[in-house]
Amino acid sequence: MPGSVHAMLSPSSAHMWMACTPSAKFSSQFPDEESPYAKEGTDAHRLCEFKLKKALGMDAVDPRPGLGFYDAEMESCSDDYASFVMDTWSKLKETCPDPMVMIEQKLDLSAYIPSGYGYGDCIIVADGHMHVVDFKYGLGVMVEAEENPQMMCYALGALELVDSLYDIDTVSVTVFQPRRENVSTWTITRDELLAWANEKLVPAAKLAIDGNGDFVAGEHCRFCKAKAVCRARAEFNLELARYDFQMPENLDGTEIAAILGRIDALVTWADDIKEFALKEALSGKHYDGFKVVEGRSVRKYTSEEEAAKVVTKAGYDPYEKKVYGITAMTALLGRKRFEEVLGSLVCKAPGKPTLVEESDKRPALDTAKEDFKTVVNEEENHDKH
């Protein structure tokens, strides 16, 4: 519901409105647009819910016939999610005979966020401990569980639900993001969670609901509906203009580091401006010095089926043949059989080196060591020839 309290202060956008409290009310004037990625994520969540309920012996209706984005990868990822939850449930059974499992549970957050609520993908409650699992099908942004406001909000809502039935001492939250091979878990005590809620969440929510506080640009801007027209974000990115876009040779290390820390945000902002301007121009808006033209076109068959028939009749094979990718092959053989047959033939090549901020959790490459290996390998290959 555009403009509703829930839409403004949802747990999924808490990282944004807690960092930039006026953004919630400011962005509510823009319409909600569900992207294909969001629809794909919804389909994946429906399949995960079905798989998990079936694994737990609950009644469930198979959603696959009605899923628009269903494929082998979604099948595999939902299997992994259900397996992870079942493993977590089994471990908790070691200390609690019958842990309670709630799936797609509505959570009341009104004690902390005005009229706030959300839905927890899976909540497992045992004696003294609660585990909240959130499935993320997104591929673009790596999501971490540690101090994640969305996950902490879900944990608070779950506590409100079960606090009178269980004595919860600690809470674990897990972000399960299979397409990024990311399973991130973080544990916090009940007292620490409640302290965060009272000291940070509640004050931010009070400011956000009224549109008060300061606009603050940052990584969270990419999810804001007002990202293309926000002046604070524009000023934040245009600060790079003070370098006059000199060639790197004219910049010292400190200046280059400053640019590196901002350049991704700058590129994203520029793309957002271009996308917004194109939509406006297609609706009749005129920007001095610019016009809308037809972009580059790509040739394609009017009918692939007819093209195949014609080429076959001419005496040629119109189909290319290639080995299934790992996800499709796993779906074909089954996970266990895949490991038996192809496990020894699967490897993971090292990723291409990339420069990231020191806060990134991946270990740093020993570039000098790698350079030495490259030189030695080149010399050995040269000697052999």
For 151-201, how does the pLDDT look when each residue is reduced to its tens digit (9 = 90+)?
999 999 999 999 888 899 999 999 999 999 899 999 999 999 999 999 999
Sign of CA dihedral 150, 152, 155, 160: negative
Q: How confident is the model at residue 296 (pLDDT cuts 50, 70, 90)?
A: confident
Closest-CA residue to 18 (of 218, 204, 157): 204
Q: What amino acid is encoded at 266 in this protein? A: L
Q: 22-50 pLDDT, tens per residue? A: 999 999 888 888 889 999 999 999 999 99
For Cα atoms 98, 100, 105, give the angle at the middle one, nearest 5 degrees. 170
Cβ atoms of residues 140 and 222 within 8 Å: no
Q: How confident is the model at residue 375 (pLDDT cuts 50, 70, 90)?
A: very low
Closest-CA residue to 261 (of 237, 290, 230): 237
- Give CATH 3.90.320 domain extents, the chain: 5-210
5-210 has which fold?
A: Lambda Exonuclease; Chain A (3.90.320)
Q: 217-235 pLDDT, tens per residue? A: 988 998 898 998 999 988 8
Q: How confident is the model at residue 289 (pLDDT cuts 50, 70, 90)?
A: confident
Between CA 174 and CA 151 the distance in angstroms is: 8
Q: Which of 92-96, 146-150, 317-321 has the highest mean pLDDT?
A: 146-150
Mean pLDDT of 241-260: 72
What angle, rounded to 10 degrees, do the helices at 72-93 and 36-55 form? 40
Alpha helices in 28-148 (DSSP H): 36-55, 72-93
3-class DSSP assignment, residue 170: strand
Alpha helices in the chain (DSSP H): 5-8, 14-19, 23-27, 36-55, 72-93, 149-162, 190-196, 202-210, 231-238, 253-282, 304-313, 326-333, 335-342, 367-384
Q: Which residue has the tokens 């003070």?
A: 242
Q: Which residues touch 254 (CB under 8 Å, ≥6 apart)?
A: none
Q: Whole-model pTM?
A: 0.75
* DSSP summary character for residue 197: I
Strands 129-135 and 170-177: parallel
Q: Which residues touch 175 (CB under 8 Å, ≥6 apart)?
A: 134, 136, 143, 144, 145, 148, 151, 182, 183, 184, 185
* DSSP summary character for residue 201: I
Closest-CA residue to 243 (of 262, 254, 259): 259
